[in-house]
Amino acid sequence: MVLYVDSSALLKRYVREHDSEAAIELMNTDPVLATCRITELEVRRNLARLLDNPKAEVAKRQFLEDLDAFALVAVDATTCNHAARIAEQTLCRSLDALHIGAALRSGTTTTLLTFDVRQAQAARSTGLAVVGT
């Protein structure tokens, strides 16, 4: 099984938020974690936004180290085409559609870990299994 970790879930590993413990526990249960490069952008932005500088730098270093262990799904033409179809069908936000498209490319046994309710609804409508929300 593959657990595709969305930015909303991965951020909870570095910033104490509601459901942080649940997110960390779910990530610890799966040996194969996947995400895409968009996650790097979203998590780094939010670390800088939510944490003061010394804590943000420490969290960023830990995040980048952790990211090396993830299977990274390419945000290429195929993923973007999947995402465009998903966005048309579900009217979800663009970045959510990209994450869903990347999760679908991760394989048929992939589960999406997200704490974004709208993204979870859109993902379920594509047939993707979802945990977290």
Q: Give tens-digit pLDDT for 12-31.
A: 999 999 999 999 999 999 89
**Calpha distance 112→24 (Å, rounded):** 14
- What is the set of domains in the chain, with CATH numbers? 2-131 (3.40.50.1010)
Res. 133 pLDDT band, cuts 50 70 90:
confident
Identify the CA nearest to 125 among candidates 90, 101, 93, 98.
90
DSSP state of 110: E
Q: What is the pLDDT of residues 65-108, one digit of tens each?
A: 999 999 999 999 999 999 999 999 999 999 999 999 999 999 99
Q: Which pair of structure tokens corresponds to residue 112? A: 């999406």
The SS3 assignment for 5 reads: strand
Residues composing the chain: 133
Find the angle CA(8)-CA(14)-CA(17) to the nearest 5 degrees.
Answer: 60
CA distance 39 to 99: 8
Mean pLDDT confidence for 38-56 = 96
